Amino acid sequence: MSGKSTSGVAVITGAAAGIGREIARQLSADGLSVVLNDIKAEALSRVVDEIKEAGGVAMAMCGDVSAPGFADRMVIEAAERFGSVNVMVANAGINIIKPFLEFDEKDLNSIFSINVLGLFYCVQAAARQMIKQGRGGKIINAASAGGKRGYELLGAYSATKFATVSITQTAALEFAKHGITVNAYCPGAIETDMWGLIDEAAAKINNVAKGETLKARVAKVPLGRVGYPSDVAKLVSFLASDKSDYITGQSIVVDGGVILS
């Protein structure tokens, strides 16, 4: 992680594990106070403790971003505790891996509720606070390489991530006059529990050995390796800093070039 070069307060959702956890660690190391959100209280508490032990400033806000009103309460409490909210990383999300024809109403309501409505609420809450503060800010959304093209067995997930790209672009246009930039990161195959679930489900559906789906994906990566959460966190670090002040409305793929293959 980089040295401390940024100040302010960042809210990071879905921060108990994987990419969200690494983003939290990175932004803390960059010098930001971090407010971490997840529905997994124990795991979230461990990340908070880890950051504090490393000398950072962190607090937990356990709750469901898809619940109406929660994102606003979280941002207001963060601002009251630390004085402002300067960065929002809307990272929380879920995946459901199924053939297209097997998705039902429950699946679609669940994944759209968290990945689209929850993200939308977080963007709104952050923008309201940043506009009130009058000093601009950074909103950074979790999209996916699946928001750039469709992928087999990820029909609903990809749909939510295409929606995230659209939300990012529209919010960037509307909030630019307030000095707020809005961008998204689009991970490809990143070594996380989520990709483990994709690999396991694909193995059962396609009747192949566990690990073969990930192996096949990595074989297509021009840079020759799977991605790591730190690869995404480094991009978020840049987007959260003043180095990205003239970049907005972008959805940047982090996949080692595989989307080109």
> Quick one: which H or E segment has residue 138?
strand 137-142
- Model confidence over 1-20: pLDDT tens digits? 333 445 799 999 999 999 99
Q: Write down the pTM of the prediction.
A: 0.93
- Check residue 80 and give its pLDDT: 98
The mean pLDDT of 192-221, rounded to a whole number, is 80
Model confidence at 215, pLDDT cuts 50, 70, 90, reads: confident
- Model confidence over 161-180: pLDDT tens digits? 999 999 999 999 999 999 99
The mean pLDDT of 179-194, rounded to a whole number, is 92
Model confidence at 206, pLDDT cuts 50, 70, 90, reads: confident
Percent pLDDT > 90 in the chain is 84
Concerning whether 161 is annotated as a catalytic residue, the answer is yes
- Check residue 4 and give its pLDDT: 41
Most confident of 148-152, 165-169, 204-208: 165-169
Helices and strands (DSSP H and E) totals, the chain: 9, 7
- Tell me which DSSP letter residue 98 carries: B
What is the DSSP annotation of 200-257? Answer: HHHHHHHT--TTHHHHHHHHT-TT-S-B-HHHHHHHHHHHTSGGGTT--S-EEEESTT
- Check residue 207 and give its pLDDT: 81
Q: For 9-190+228-260, which CATH superfamily applies?
A: NAD(P)-binding Rossmann-like Domain (3.40.50.720)
- φ/ψ (deg, to 5) at 92: -60, 140
Model confidence at 201, pLDDT cuts 50, 70, 90, reads: confident
Percent pLDDT > 70 in the chain is 97
Q: Which of 121, 138, 161, 185 is catalytic?
A: 161
- Check residue 6 and give its pLDDT: 54
Could you tell me the residue ranges of all domains in the chain?
9-190+228-260
Q: Which of 157, 210, 220, 243 is catalytic?
A: 157
